[in-house]
Amino acid sequence: MPTAHTLPVSPSTVHWGYFDAALPPVLRVRSGDRVTVDSISGGPDEMPPAGSRHAVLPEHREVHATHKPRLGAHILTGPIYVEGAQPGDTLEIRIHDVQPRTDWGYNTIRPLAGTLPEDFPMLRRMIIPIDRARMVCTLPWGTEIPLQPFFGVMGVAPPPVYGAVTSIIPREYGGNLDLKELGAGSTLYLPVFAEGALLSVGDGHSVQGDGEVCLTALETCMRGTFEVILRKDLHVAFPRAETATHHITMGLDLDLDDAAKQALREMIKLLGELAQLAPADAYTLCSLACDLRVTQLVDGNKGIHAMLDKRFVPGAR
């Protein structure tokens, strides 16, 4: 029978700023198990000011007191070892629920970062209130935005030969994908590069626009529940996803044009697998029915995701 696990945040269950296949697992699960994972987001400078009505979680302060960032900015919970996972397998992660854990999040503009660093050579950190009952946030000028929570970072261990790599740049093992479609009800597929897969998650986003243009989304401490399934019958070379309505392929590159080409090639490949379409036919279908969207512009490797409505996939389930 599948087992339900919980993975809280503590100094012993997080790593800050990097992925590494050499990290020891903090939890072991079997294929089919469910895991409820807590995360925290933000360093000491991103916390609400002293005397604020917004509370900082005690485990957040404990991590700040015991850890320092290495290579990147994201505080990640994990890694989670999946029994039986070996390089060449695929990890299917069914996302059942994602909810903010605090009544605040933060947004940051930083010099030399973001999409328009030449226009905004400034440092601004903004604490934004969250109404978890109504699932909205309220900006300082009064605009309310409905929340669409998801984890910005979901990744397995990179190939062991990479050693420790920054959490900022998304790559073939996933990581900082910042794909807002990965909310409750979606599924992420990641190629496995190390024994046990070693899944880590973090970078909770309460809401984000495609592009994440100023550098961050509404960064929030988050709780998510996932069902982790080991797929020996599926072999992907790059992250894929699906929602109830759409298939999603991804492209990541320093050049946005090359990221778009990769996402499109991945969708053509997927259509061959799902519907046995010839590449030229899949190319035509993509031109008529597939949307290429900018995932993010701010993480080194820029992201494009291709979205194809499942209604247009011939014979696919």
**SS3 (DSSP) at 8:** coil
pLDDT, one tens digit per residue, over 60-81 is 999 999 999 999 999 999 999 9
pLDDT, one tens digit per residue, over 266-315 is 999 999 999 999 999 999 999 999 999 999 999 999 999 999 999 999 88
Question: Quick one: pLDDT at residue 50?
Answer: 87
Query: Quick one: which H or E segment has residue 64?
Result: helix 58-66
Q: What's the pTM value of the predicted model, to 2 decimals?
A: 0.97
CATH 3.40.30 fits 4-22+29-47+54-83+94-169+195-228, yes or no: no
pLDDT, one tens digit per residue, over 211-237 is 999 999 999 999 999 999 999 999 999
Look up residue 286 and give its two tokens.
Answer: 């993509």
Residue 189 reports pLDDT greater than 70: yes
- CA end-to-end span of the chain: 27
pLDDT, one tens digit per residue, over 226-271 is 999 999 999 999 999 999 999 999 999 999 999 999 999 999 999 9
**SS3 (DSSP) at 95:** strand
pLDDT, one tens digit per residue, over 9-37 is 999 999 999 999 999 999 999 999 999 99
CA distance 124 to 156: 32
Residue 127 reports pLDDT greater than 80: yes
Residue with token string 């190390």:
194
What is the domain partition of the chain in residue ranges?
Answer: 4-22+29-47+54-83+94-169+195-228, 245-310
245-310 has which fold? Endonuclease I-creI (3.10.28)
Percent of the chain with pLDDT over 90: 98
Say if residues 285 and 312 touch (Cβ distance below 8 Å): yes
**SS3 (DSSP) at 81:** strand
> 66 in the Ramachandran plot: left (φ > 0), alpha (ψ -120 to 50) or beta?
alpha
